[in-house]
Amino acid sequence: MINIKQFIATKNKFFNIFQLFGNWSPQPLFLLVHITLRCDNVCGYCYQLSDDYYKKYLAQDLSFDDFKKIVIDAKRNFFVMPKIHLFGGEPLINKDFSKMLEFATLNNVKLSFTTNGNLLNIFYKDIGSSSIEQINVSMNSLEDFYKIKTVQDIKRIKININFVLTDKNYKEIKKIVDFFEFEKANINVLSFQHAYFCKDKININVLKDQIFKIKNLKTRFKILFLPYIKVNDLEKYYNKELNNFSRNCNIPWLGLNIMPNLDVTPGGGVLGCNNVIGNLKKEKIKIIWNNKKIKIFRKNILKNGVCDKCLGCCHRQYY
């Protein structure tokens, strides 16, 4: 089983082969499904809180019937079933979360999801008996470790832990790595994500020192930094000198983002990808996948690179 998060983060250029098709793409590899935009955390670095685009979706969660519609549509219309990743907000808040897992499992559809972990222990049994194959857990500090105490016992599930680097934790990267190694945590990836915002609060020399301290460590899990920025280029990234990097992004050739009201946007559904290209109440996924709007979107990337809003994104390519 491929760890999608790790593969995209480390083998991103491999997928540039899809751009050889021009503004057309054979099929989506993933569907990022926002089953709610509500969340039980308030994180200062959250891009959804700082972008008015998401406010219109707060009043509606994805219904169970609409989830079934997405699964059936994807399963019937593509040669390879796209990976379905449940996202939020906090997806476990959706009242039909357990029913969605059950339906996907009965239809032999693999799922993954991203969570802050607050409710993982409550849904432990449902997750354990489902077709979930990967869980991405966002943590702010080591105090959040207890949240994965139960699910890490489900050996077949890949667990990825992600820390967004902030002024409160970037000085403790080595400490965090040592902690997970000491605890013998059953995780596959420990990632540290450079924040979209709050970059002015990070001392680059201290950050570099922390990265060098873990550079040659042998750990039971993979360590990643997202996006991948060479150490010598960290000043440019954090000083927002982003025009010095490549402006390519292949994510709109790889997947779609689906909002709770079934609006569809390209790629990872953040920043410059927040352009509605269709709605699943009116059209099938296969039709939207290569419709006029997404072809124009892809063509603009091929011609001009990503827009300025996407320059700090963790999904795009920097080299």
Each residue of 62-72: pLDDT tens digit?
999 999 999 99
2 pLDDT more than 70: no
Number of C-beta neighbours around residue 17 at 10 A = 10
pTM: 0.95
pLDDT at 1: 52
200 pLDDT more than 80: no
| Domain range list for the chain | 4-11+29-310
Residue type, 313: C
274 pLDDT more than 60: yes
Assign domain 4-11+29-310 one CATH number from 3.60.15.10, 3.40.30.10, 3.40.50.300, 3.20.20.70.
3.20.20.70
With both helix axes pointing from N to C terminus, report the angle between 204-214 and 173-182 in degrees, rounded to the nearest 10: 30
269 pLDDT more than 90: no
Q: How far apart are CA 268 and CA 252, in angstroms?
A: 8
Q: How far apart are CA 160 and CA 168, in angstroms?
A: 21
Q: How far apart are CA 55 and CA 145, in angstroms?
A: 30
User: Which residues does residue 223 pair with via DSSP β-bridges, in sequence order?
Assistant: 190
